[in-house]
Structure 1
Amino acid sequence: MLIDGGCFLKNPDERGEKIITYGIPINKIEDLILYSKVLKIHKENYFHLGHGENYEVYSFNNANTLGFRVGAEEKKVKEIFQINLKANISNRDAKALMIIMLHLLGELSTSSNFSDIDIWGTFPSSNPDNQDTSVTFIKEAIRLIDGSKVNKEPLIRHTKRQKKQTSGKLYKYENKINDDFQTLRANPVIKDKIKGAVICIIDDYITTGYSAEAAKHILLEAGAKKVIFISVGKFGREYFSTEYNIEGDVYGDYAANFVSESDFNGRGYTDNDTEFLEFIGKIE
């Protein structure tokens, strides 16, 4: 493994532009010490649900920020956390984003649950023209570190989708995954690589779990061996596991018919607020 300009790469030939793009900003020795500690702090995930042998979902951190649930200082730190996951490239704090990335990397590199991933991807933005997201940056850095040669996204958004966070909770409960099924498909460019692959999809947050479920259904129907969905944070304590019958070709035109769902409210959660928040709170 090469450490060059602050960027960890398995392949020494992958220098230059990738180091500039994904390198770790080290301005003082304290930064290096902080980064090294972040890689080691991860103890347990906030949420984990296994659904059979071919699907698992993880949320690494509690992202709840409602004032009556968390203290003022914790709320402030979580807002830093959220801002940098949602910000565009001009508004991101490089150090905050790198701490988030290293926090995920600490878990991904030490847990056997993520040792056999063939393809790394992200859950597509609601707007297909928005390719510059914090999560895409994090995913690509992890892909390069892992050495995966598949640099195409396994899921693609072909049509703009109404943003769930602006559509209201009732809309999400009633509409479920319909908007995603209508605007997402498996990427036909890597069809031969998706079949039989273990695919890990990274997203910023999970609220109800419907986005994760959309990824599960589409990629398993596309022939993936297993789908692992991870989010940096989890809002609320609900997760809806769904069953759908899919007709057609998920690489092109298809229809999904709702069968049933189960609410895993209160299951699979642990309190892990402080282990990560204390580090991101040190950003200057």
Structure 2
Amino acid sequence: MQKLLFCNLDLLKSPNNNPDLTQKYIAFLNWVDSVCNDPENLIYFISRDQALLDSANDFFNKQNNKNYNFTTREEARSFVMNHRNMNNHFVFISGKEVDFHLAVHSKSLFIVPTWIPVDDKSIYYGVHVDTPAQLEKFIRTLNNQNNWYATLEIETNIVALSLMDGRYKYKAFTSNEQDMMKHFEELLKQGSSRNYYAILLYHFLAGMTNSTFFDDIELFGMIPSSNCSLNHDILSFMTQVRYIKGKRLPKNNMIDPNLIKRVVPKTQAHMLPNQSVRATMGACQEFSTLCINPEFKKKIETLKKQGRFNVCIFDDYMTHGNTFNAVRNLLKYLGVNKIIFVSLGNFSRPFQKKDYIINGDVYKLGYTYQLVQSTQQNLTYNYAAKNEIDELYNIFNS
């Protein structure tokens, strides 16, 4: 997807007497030169100081025959805020807090190059890149991601999306796709293949920011592991998206920052006898272990009154949708307006939609549930997403 890159003018300041920073500065300029000749991206350098912009424009465009673009921060702000419906095309690359706030107000991606001066809030909330090479790969990943592998409208305003095909062992199109998916699974399931963390993060953030579909989401949550813990990497991904969308937790320093709470452990899905059992078991096992985090109760009530109770739930993989079914029914009981279920991988099996009547307090265990309807729904698959995983391999191995 084409991007409009707003870079803070600090990136064009030559460092003094620091070989490492000088090397990164030169590498960044080389990348900017390539962007200026790239129809997929347009780059603008921004500053509040018109005199500094004029000086930089004179130096780079006249003396070096470059084609760099410069604009004031106010001009950039006016353009971005007047075109917020295009925010999926905007990327801010800066260490300034003022640029972070502009990115948040427009729900745009905010990238922090750590080799320039960085304000405290920017370093805390931004997505870090430590080298120009990393930045280039991130932007190429944003350009590369245009498709979700699997989509399903479960019912009105309730959608399931999966970023990738999880069946790499026997359904990968290429060895490159198979290699990437193997390492992603090792990262998510075993915590290994740590070198692939940034790759998966960039691809995930591309999916979450290359569309305005998530802009009205107010609460983000994730499916807890069978042992009640939270997968650290998915929690990190979710937190980064929450920062980008400018959404705060109901309370500071929450013990459990997750909307969904697993109170007692459950049997891991792969320990169950066979796929047919897993496909037909429904949400009963989940209902006996899951509830809505009571620390979100007041926030949920406020959002309901305002008609903004919109939720996004993340998980690593979706097979039959048993956990999503449980969460869907719990949130519907609370009066949710919109739910987006996002899984990173999908095993291309039909979604087993099961509707329950819920009674009781869903902020703790002990509520009751009764199955009233069961149907099977087929997802729609876009195999172009598999080609994008293949291209990720080329991006990060070039």
Q: TM-score range by the shorter chain?
A: 0.7 to 0.9
Q: How far apart, CA to CA, are the structure 1 residues paired with 2:323 and 2:140?
A: 32
* Equivalent residue letter for 2:293: N
Alignment TM-score, normalising by the size of structure 2: 0.63
1:77-134 CA deviation, whole Å, 9 max, x = no partner?
210121122233xx3525x222222222223223222110101111111112x23421
Q: How far apart, CA to CA, are the structure 2 residues paired with 1:147 and 1:210?
A: 30
Q: Which of 158, 161, 171 is the equivalent residue of 1:58?
A: 161
Greater fraction of residues in helix: 2
Q: Which of 241, 255, 267 is the equivalent residue of 1:142?
A: 241
- Higher deviation after alignment, 33-42 or 165-174: 165-174
Q: Which of 355, 359, 362 is the equivalent residue of 1:247?
A: 359
Match of 2:326 in 1: 214
Q: How far apart, CA to CA, are the structure 2 residues paired with 1:205 and 1:63?
A: 7
1:100 to 1:72, Cα distance in 2 relative to 1, 3 A: closer
* Equivalent residue letter for 2:390: L
Q: How far apart, CA to CA, are the structure 2 residues paired with 1:87 and 1:176?
A: 26
Match of 2:291 in 1: 185
Matched, 1:163 2:254: no
Q: Which of 168, 173, 184 is the equivalent residue of 1:81?
A: 184
Q: How far apart, CA to CA, are the structure 1 residues paired with 2:382 and 2:311?
A: 25
**Secondary structure of the equivalent of 2:155?**
coil
- Higher deviation after alignment, 242-251 or 61-70: 61-70
Match of 1:112 in 2: 212
Q: How far apart, CA to CA, are the structure 1 residues paired with 2:294 and 2:331?
A: 11
5+ long unaligned stretches in structure 1: none
Matched, 1:261 2:374: yes
**2:358 touches 2:370 (CA, 8 Å); kept in 1?**
yes
Q: Which of 217, 237, 251 is the equivalent residue of 2:349?
A: 237
User: Cα offset for 1:235?
Assistant: 0.8
**1:246 touches 1:256 (CA, 8 Å); kept in 2?**
yes
Matched, 1:46 2:145: no
Match of 1:37 in 2: 140
Q: How far apart, CA to CA, are the structure 2 residues paired with 1:74 and 1:103?
A: 13
Alignment TM-score, normalising by the size of structure 1: 0.85
User: Cα offset for 1:165?
Assistant: 2.3
Matched, 1:24 2:102: no
Match of 2:225 in 1: 125
Q: How far apart, CA to CA, are the structure 2 residues paired with 1:131 and 1:2?
A: 30
Q: How far apart, CA to CA, are the structure 2 residues paired with 1:9 and 1:93?
A: 28
Q: Which has the higher contact order (CA 8 A, sep 6+)?
A: 1
1:176 to 1:281, Cα distance in 2 relative to 1, 3 A: farther
Match of 2:282 in 1: 176
**Secondary structure of the equivalent of 2:324?**
helix
**2:282 touches 2:352 (CA, 8 Å); kept in 1?**
no
1:219 to 1:25, Cα distance in 2 relative to 1, 3 A: same
* Equivalent residue letter for 1:257: Q
Match of 2:12 in 1: none
Larger Rg: 2
**Secondary structure of the equivalent of 2:167?**
coil
1:217-263 CA deviation, whole Å, 9 max, x = no partner?
11221232221111111112321122111121211221221222222
* Equivalent residue letter for 1:234: N
1:99 to 1:76, Cα distance in 2 relative to 1, 3 A: closer
**Secondary structure of the equivalent of 1:121?**
strand
Match of 1:154 in 2: 259
Q: How far apart, CA to CA, are the structure 1 residues paired with 2:353 and 2:338?
A: 16
1:176 to 1:52, Cα distance in 2 relative to 1, 3 A: closer
Task: Name the % identity.
Answer: 23
**Secondary structure of the equivalent of 2:146?**
coil
Q: How far apart, CA to CA, are the structure 2 residues paired with 1:242 and 1:174?
A: 10
Q: How far apart, CA to CA, are the structure 2 residues paired with 1:25 and 1:2?
A: 10
Matched, 1:275 2:374: no
Match of 1:103 in 2: 203
